[in-house]
A and B are shown apart, each in its own frame.
Chain A
Amino acid sequence: MKILVPVKRVIDYNVKPRVKADGTGVDLANVKMSMNPFDEIAVEEAIRLKEKGAASEVVVVSIGVAKAQETLRTALAMGADRAILIQTDDEVEPLGVAKLLAKVQEEEGAGLIILGKQAIDDDSNQTGQMLAALLGRPQGTFASKVEMEGDAVSVTREVDGGLETVKLTTPAIITTDLRLNEPRYASLPNIMKAKSKPLANKMPADYGVDISPRLETVSVAEPAKRSAGVKVADVDELVAKLKSMGVAA
């Protein structure tokens, strides 16, 4: 069984984003970029399934600027077998990404597609579900445990009240939650080896789907600032504050 893992190049999660003064977006010039943390977990899970003998090949795919190659090389260094870059300078929305990925899946015929549950830049949490819909396949979102059971996959999901387990027929789409696994670091020899692994360059036009944006970003603003707080000297003062707010009797 082949596993397909879409990955996204995003602002590093440790960086505090700055809104551009003209309100057109977030300033990404000279900002450290990395693989979306949920996607690292997806790559790790795919590699673990391969190590267990449940998968034969792990293919990673990214849609974005030429530099997204670096993100794909990182995934190859972690252990993925080959990569596909669908290169575009335009911003592609989750619906467009899902349409492109559906075409990639038509070519690849993977048994599982594992994605991160959301990207930490647009915070949409849509692509996996949309891809499942377009392919007419089942979805196991917010996964904290994945187990192959013959032709099916059992997925434990993180839901509001706790955990829930569903069984999906394959091919299936899985989106990862944080607790699914701890992604490995790529070793230096593996980083070197990754440079010679195959990376196919494609364009959105190769897939013949309409990815023109449906949402127009009118403006991007800083969130309202909180007014400066006060420090209290001791517990008595804090208790008095809580009482004055009516929180404590």
Chain B
Amino acid sequence: MKTLVWVEHEGGAVKDATLSAVTAAAKLGEVHLLVAGESVAGVAEAAAKIAGVGKVHVADDAALGHALAENVAPLVVQLMADHDAFVVPATSNGKNIAPRVAALLDVMQISDILSVEGEDMFTRPIYAGNAIATVKSKDAKKVITVRGTAFEKAASEGGSGTVESVTSTGDAGLSSFVGAEIAKLERPELTSAKVIVSGGRALKDGETFEQLIFPLADKLGAAVGASRAAVDAGYVPNDYQVGQTGKIVAPEVYIAVGISGAIQHLAGMKDSKTIIAINKDEDAPIFQVADIGLVGDLFKVVPELTEKL
């Protein structure tokens, strides 16, 4: 089976989510990559070094600059004439593009896979991760999005792929990019962090969130996350949100501070290796998944913890 992996990149670098997708794709067969964007020669070079990669198709065109699905999908469809599976990291860009490709190929997408059980069998979470379905695809070609935290990352060095340029299918003329507001992060990125400190509604307001959660995170070299309640209340921007509708994370250590543990939130973090909960309500559902729990007032516990680390 020949797979085509869509390379997610940013600022001239391949993003980690791509490396997990490569691992998943390698379980299906020969791995080819697609690097699409504007001025992406550097990205293509970096992509060719990913371990186990064969051909790297590069499409360099201003129309592909912001990964607009309307322009990327026809290009992928053209390349799929020669591939059996299109494998995409389940990032916001991946989730935007892949179903458009699937429909153009007239196949059902398999979303957010957790494992590859055979060349047409996969497991995936449903009902906010409360059930795991094993599905078998009857389609001749597969379109698959990959949950990054479920697969090891392929080594970013050691490969010797061959770079080959492909002609862009151009601008579909349906959409245009206007602008972006990218949140500045001084800390590790949520989806790739080893340690995450997350705050919930109990933090009271944005200022308190910053005063309590950020110093603790910095002591641990951790990324900062939040529950939907904290995001909706405006304590932190929405890209901090961990959950079914936010980011799915699986760090070594996840510290939930003042988070009750609604199923929506658990869906985003319950595959963390060690979960630590700090909550004053000892009946909070978060304690049912926590490996280590501390029942106490976060306004006292968190400063003390930060101090003692």
Give the docked Cα–Cα distance between A169 and B137 (Å).
Answer: 34
Q: Is A187 an interface residue (CB 8 A)?
A: no
Q: Which of A132, A226, A248 is B289 in contact with, Cβ under 8 Å? A: A226
Q: Interface with B: A52-60, A66-74, A80-88, A213-221, which one?
A: A213-221
- Least CB separation from B143: chain A residue: A126
Verify B127–A214 contact, CB threshold 8 A: no
Verify A235–B180 contact, CB threshold 8 A: no
**0 or 1 for each of B160-197: is its CB under 8 Å from A? (1 = yes):** 00000000000011111111111100000001000100
Verify B289–A123 contact, CB threshold 8 A: no
Nearest Cβ in chain B — how far from A176, in angstroms?
11
Verify A94–B109 contact, CB threshold 8 A: yes
Q: Which of A13, A140, A230 is B264 in contact with, Cβ under 8 Å? A: A13
Nearest Cβ in chain A — how far from B191, in angstroms?
8
Give the docked Cα–Cα distance between A118 and B308 (Å).
Answer: 43
Residues from chain A with a CB closer than 8 A to the CB of B102 are 95, 126, 130, 133
Give the docked Cα–Cα distance between A139 and B70 (Å).
Answer: 8
Contact of A226 with B291 at beta-carbon distance under 8 Å, contacts A162-B239, A214-B107, A216-B135 already known: yes
**0 or 1 for each of B273-309: is its CB under 8 Å from A? (1 = yes):** 0111000000000010111111110000100110011
Nearest Cβ in chain B — how far from A221, in angstroms?
5
Contact of A214 with B180 at beta-carbon distance under 8 Å, contacts A161-B239, A220-B131, A242-B309 already known: no
Residues from chain B with a CB closer than 8 A to the CB of A221 are 131-132, 134
Q: How large is the interface on A (under 10, 10 to 19, 20 to 34, 35 or more residues)?
A: 35 or more
Q: Interface with A: B21-29, B30-38, B91-99, which one?
A: B91-99
Q: Is B108 an interface residue (CB 8 A)?
A: yes
**0 or 1 for each of B90-126: is its CB under 8 Å from A? (1 = yes):** 0111011111111110111111100000000100011
Verify A133–B137 contact, CB threshold 8 A: no
Verify B263–A231 contact, CB threshold 8 A: no
Verify B291–A230 contact, CB threshold 8 A: yes
Contact of A123 with B125 at beta-carbon distance under 8 Å, contacts A139-B69, A221-B132 already known: yes
Contact of A158 with B293 at beta-carbon distance under 8 Å, contacts A169-B174, A235-B308 already known: no
Contact of A160 with B263 at beta-carbon distance under 8 Å, contacts A232-B294, A235-B301 already known: no
Give the docked Cα–Cα distance between A169 and B224 (Å).
Answer: 37
Q: Is A32 an interface residue (CB 8 A)?
A: no
Verify B177–A124 contact, CB threshold 8 A: no
Q: Is A65 an interface residue (CB 8 A)?
A: no
Q: Is A34 an interface residue (CB 8 A)?
A: no
Nearest Cβ in chain A — how far from B6, in angstroms?
14
Residues from chain A with a CB closer than 8 A to the CB of B173 are 169
Q: Which of B216-231 contact A (CB under 8 A)?
A: 219-220, 228, 231
- Least CB separation from A182: chain B residue: B232
Verify B178–A125 contact, CB threshold 8 A: no
Contact of A229 with B130 at beta-carbon distance under 8 Å, contacts A94-B108, A214-B137, A239-B309 already known: no
Q: Is B252 an interface residue (CB 8 A)?
A: yes
Q: Is A178 an interface residue (CB 8 A)?
A: yes
Verify A222–B135 contact, CB threshold 8 A: no
Q: Is B39 an interface residue (CB 8 A)?
A: no
Q: Is A168 an interface residue (CB 8 A)?
A: yes
Contact of A247 with B195 at beta-carbon distance under 8 Å, contacts A215-B135, A218-B135, A222-B132 already known: yes
Verify A98–B127 contact, CB threshold 8 A: no
Verify B108–A231 contact, CB threshold 8 A: no
Give the docked Cα–Cα distance between A242 and B276 (Å).
Answer: 10
Give the docked Cα–Cα distance between A71 and B139 (Å).
Answer: 32
Q: Which of A168, A220, A226 is B133 in contact with, Cβ under 8 Å? A: A220
Give the docked Cα–Cα distance between A157 and B280 (Å).
Answer: 36
Give the docked Cα–Cα distance between A216 and B120 (Å).
Answer: 10
Verify A215–B108 contact, CB threshold 8 A: yes
Q: Which of A95, A162, A169 is B183 in contact with, Cβ under 8 Å? A: A162
- Least CB separation from A218: chain B residue: B134
Q: Is B149 an interface residue (CB 8 A)?
A: no
- Give A contacts to B, CB under 8 Å: 11, 13, 16-17, 19, 26, 93-95, 98, 117-118, 120-134, 136-142, 144, 154, 157-169, 177-179, 213-223, 226-227, 229-232, 234-236, 238-239, 241-242, 245, 247-249
Can you name 8 A-B pairs with beta carbons within 8 Å? A94-B108, A126-B111, A130-B100, A138-B175, A163-B182, A179-B238, A218-B135, A235-B301
Question: Lowest 6 CB-CB distances: which A-B pairs, in order?
Answer: A129-B99, A130-B103, A133-B103, A138-B174, A214-B108, A126-B99
